[in-house]
């Protein structure tokens, strides 16, 4: 853990010295909030609320928050691929440190950056009409679930970064599968509006469980909304936590194993 925190500090200092990376990382989710809130608001039917634009803005934010934390995957992969390409990983190998600390430290640093992004995004969401209706403790629990979910996905990014030859490939590889994951979910439209054959796929998507969980914890669901009968939609908070822990267990193991082979 000590070695991981040292590596995390190194990555955070690097991020602070290249502030444009952080700034550009903030611009994209802010654009999503503004565009979706005002372009699609009032055009999408929300079960229990109809075509109410204000209801859609509150419905939307759970999806935007979840999408934002998962997009950290691309940054994690690109950062590790860059370190591999420049030989920095070889320098770490010469130090008396735990092998897994390099990857764990990187994911800790990405988690810190994600937390800052969520804070800024919440402020922007507040300005466009989003509100928390279910208390501070539930709101903190929602942000904790989001950070856990984002942390899980940074391990997927770490594995991608170790598997490609350049930061550019890592960025592309980290994003190309995220778009279907986020759009085949309840992030932007209710799953009830999807074709019947696609609804079970969306409902068992870990992304959907996290989105519904944070909506419920923020109090952003219409009072008359009835969740689908599938287990993740009936138990979204528990499902989100379980899915995140499973992703961490699988992809951390694979990433550390890949790292040892890549630097062995």
Q: Is the pLDDT of residue 264 over 60?
A: no
Per-residue exposure over 138-150, b if at least 16 CB sit within 10 Å of its own CB, e if not:
bbebbbebbbbbb
pTM score, two decimals? 0.88
Higher pLDDT, 39 or 134: 134
- What average pLDDT does range 133-159 have in this prediction? 93
Asked if residue 11 has pLDDT above 90, the reply is no
What is the reported pLDDT for 50?
Answer: 64
Number of other residues whose CB lies within 10 A of the CB of residue 228: 18
Question: For residue 151, is pLDDT > 80?
Answer: yes
Please, which pLDDT band fits residue 221 given cuts at 50, 70 and 90?
confident
Of 144, 170, 168, 167, nearest to 156 (Cα)? 170
Q: How far apart are CA 144 and CA 119, in angstroms?
A: 12
Over residues 237-249, the pLDDT tens digits come to 999 999 999 999 9
- Locate the domains of the chain by residue range: 2-263
How far from 191 is each of 71, 209, 233, 237, CA to CA, in Å? 22, 12, 10, 18
Torsion over CA of 155, 158, 159 and 164, rounded to 10 degrees?
160
Q: In the chain, what is the straight-line distance between the N-terminal and C-terminal CA atoms, in Å?
A: 22
The pair of structure tokens assigned to 114 is: 């994600």
Could you read off the pLDDT of 36-81 as tens digits, one per residue? Answer: 777 777 677 777 666 677 778 888 889 999 998 998 788 788 888 8
DSSP 50: B
Which tops the pLDDT comparison, 124 or 225? 124
CA–CA gap between residue 217 and residue 222 (Å, rounded): 13
């Amino acid at each position: 853990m000590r070695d991981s925190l040292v590596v995390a500090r190194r990555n955070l200092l690097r991020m602070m010295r290249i502030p444009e990376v952080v700034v550009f990382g903030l611009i994209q989710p802010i654009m999503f909030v503004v565009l979706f809130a005002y372009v699609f608001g009032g055009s999408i039917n929300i079960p229990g609320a109809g075509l109410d634009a204000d209801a859609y803005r509150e419905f939307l934010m759970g999806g935007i928050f979840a999408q934002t934390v998962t997009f950290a995957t691309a940054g994690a992969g690109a950062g590790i691929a860059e370190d591999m390409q420049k030989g920095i990983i070889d320098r770490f190998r010469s130090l008396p440190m735990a092998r897994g600390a390099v990857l764990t430290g990187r994911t800790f640093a990405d988690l810190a950056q994600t937390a800052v992004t969520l804070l800024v995004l919440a402020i922007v969401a507040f300005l466009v009409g989003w509100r928390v209706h279910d208390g501070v403790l539930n709101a903190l629990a929602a942000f904790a679930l989001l950070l856990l979910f984002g942390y899980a996905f940074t391990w997927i990014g770490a594995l991608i970064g170790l598997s490609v030859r350049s930061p550019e490939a890592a960025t592309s590889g980290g994003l190309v599968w995220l778009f279907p994951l986020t759009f085949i979910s309840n992030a932007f439209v209710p799953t009830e509006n999807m074709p019947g054959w696609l609804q079970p796929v969306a409902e068992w998507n870990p992304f959907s469980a996290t989105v519904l969980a944070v909506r419920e914890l923020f109090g952003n669901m219409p009072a008359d909304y009835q969740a689908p009968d599938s287990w993740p939609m009936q138990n979204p908070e528990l499902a989100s936590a379980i899915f995140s822990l499973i992703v961490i267990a699988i992809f951390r193991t694979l990433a550390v194993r890949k790292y040892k082979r890549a630097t062995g």
